Amino acid sequence: MTQPRGYYTADEVRLAEAELFTRVPDGVPMRRAAYGLATVVASELRARSGGVAGRTVALLVGSGDNGGDALWAGSMLRRRGVAVTAVLLNPARAHAAGLAALRRAGGRVCADPVAAVAETSHADLVIDGIVGLSGRGPLRPGAARIVAECDVPIVAADLPSGVDPDTGVVSGPAVRAAVTVSFGACKPVHALAADRCGRIELVPIGLRLPEPGLAALEPAAVGAGWPVPGATDDKYTQGVTGVRAGSATYPGAAVLCTGAAVAATSGMVRYAGTAAAAVLARYPEVIAVSDLAAAGRVQSWVFGPGSGTDRAARDELAEILATDLPVVVDADGLTVLASEPELVRDRRAPTVLTPHAGEFERLIGREPDPDRVAAVREFADTWQVTVLLKGRATLVAEPGAPVLINEAGGSWAATAGAGDVLSGMIGALLAGGREPGWAAAAAARAHAVAAELAAHDTGPSGSGAAPISASPLLQHLSRAVGALRSLPA
């Protein structure tokens, strides 16, 4: 099966680079990176302008190795007929060898901050080589002004300057790139701040990397691992999902959550709750009862969407958590757990909590650290649960395992009820025998694909994507699973 894609911290990359420097001659890694950067820029020029020779590129050059990468790449582009100007933001500390190479190739150099704005505005593309892995915090005023007035596409060298490489945090002025060319390894910023990075192009430079602490399931692996009926399966062997969601006040939560469990697998779904009539009206294949005690045998439970937080709901959650079955807790169930964490902390069976940012803050009792990966890892270890922290970059952590990340590629699923769909999907995968971390991460990927498909199916033909609600997202779930399963391994 396809291995997860790893994301490596600045410290991990630096250690791998130090090891690489013992194996190859001095300067080789930078030239490999620069060649890859120049290749991507040339491809962008062809795509945007129809050619390479005669085009114009401006380099924003800082004092670190990323500035050197940009200068060397500029020298290679100059030899292909591109007019290249390097804007030196710190002339005294510009990479000497890279600057010499650019000058030998006939590139121009600009050290005047006033003229720099004109250089970027006249370019076809701009290369961001301001800061790299060592950079922290926002852009300094001079660079910030140039970037703010730049209205042409930017190709970032390794990462967009001003964005934290490990957390993706933007605390002030920063680059927003159309393309980011990553050297040697993907970094957390490329998923945590994907909207700042644009398209990611990975250039191998020969790094030997450790097992990642942050990784993403490849879409093909999600499709290959999704449970489907085998030759001898029946409705019971595929897993029976139990859903306790919704109420007389919020029957829609029950319909969305139960419908997602139905769509995610082809086994059986049992619903227990006061919205049984609404569920049956939409999904007659569901076994729906109004009382938890009458639900029958299941292989997993989903609790919380629209269930309420009163004493009766609390007691039902406690009853479900007292079983030895996998349980997904979402929405109102998380509010109950924030007040009574002991209900889940000593549990031995798999437990998946699916908070959004506000619910996560209530669970930990404080404002979380800006480092979302560290925060979710700490929570999973402390509570001994699997936690899915929602967002465009959804994080899944379980004790003692790498954090899994799903970068949705957009925010189409940021709509009321979408979380109810996600929790139903996870419950179905758990009932089908999938491990909790994988189930949560795989459901997040299929959920994102369904949202994307729904967004592009909503408007009139040819009109482009349009905002969606949770119902069309749910309607596209089966199609999303099919699309993932069709990907080559």
Judge contact between 245 and 304, C-beta under 8 A. Answer: yes
Annotated binding residue at 53? no
Annotated binding residue at 356? yes
Annotated binding residue at 306? yes
> Rounded CA gap, 349 and 441, in Å?
18
Residue type, 329: V
Residue type, 14: R
With residues binned 3-state (H G I as helix, E B as strand, rest as coil), the percentages for the chain, rounded to 5, are 45, 15, 40
> Rounded CA gap, 11 and 264, in Å?
39
Longest dimension (CA), the chain: 81
Annotated binding residue at 68? no
Judge contact between 272 and 292, C-beta under 8 A. Answer: yes
Distance, C-alpha 481 to centroid of its chain: 18
Judge contact between 89 and 110, C-beta under 8 A. Answer: no
Judge contact between 57 and 126, C-beta under 8 A. Answer: yes
> Rounded CA gap, 279 and 472, in Å?
17
Annotated binding residue at 420? yes
> Rounded CA gap, 288 and 271, in Å?
5
Q: Other C-beta atoms within 10 Å of 398: how many?
A: 26
Annotated binding residue at 253? yes
> Rounded CA gap, 454 and 471, in Å?
9
Annotated binding residue at 392? yes
Judge contact between 186 and 199, C-beta under 8 A. Answer: no
Annotated binding residue at 394? yes
The tokens describing 107, both together, are 């590139």
What single-letter DSSP state applies at residue 80?
T
The tokens describing 56, both together, are 């114009």
> Rounded CA gap, 241 and 263, in Å?
12
> Rounded CA gap, 87 and 90, in Å?
9
The tokens describing 416, both together, are 């009321």
Which residue has tokens 């908070």? 355
Q: Other C-beta atoms within 10 Å of 348: how many?
A: 7
As beta bridge partners, residue 84 has 57
Residues tagged in the binding site annotation: 253, 306, 356, 390-394, 419-420
Residues tagged in the binding site annotation for (6S)-NADPHX: 253, 306, 356, 420
Residues tagged in the binding site annotation for AMP: 390-394, 419
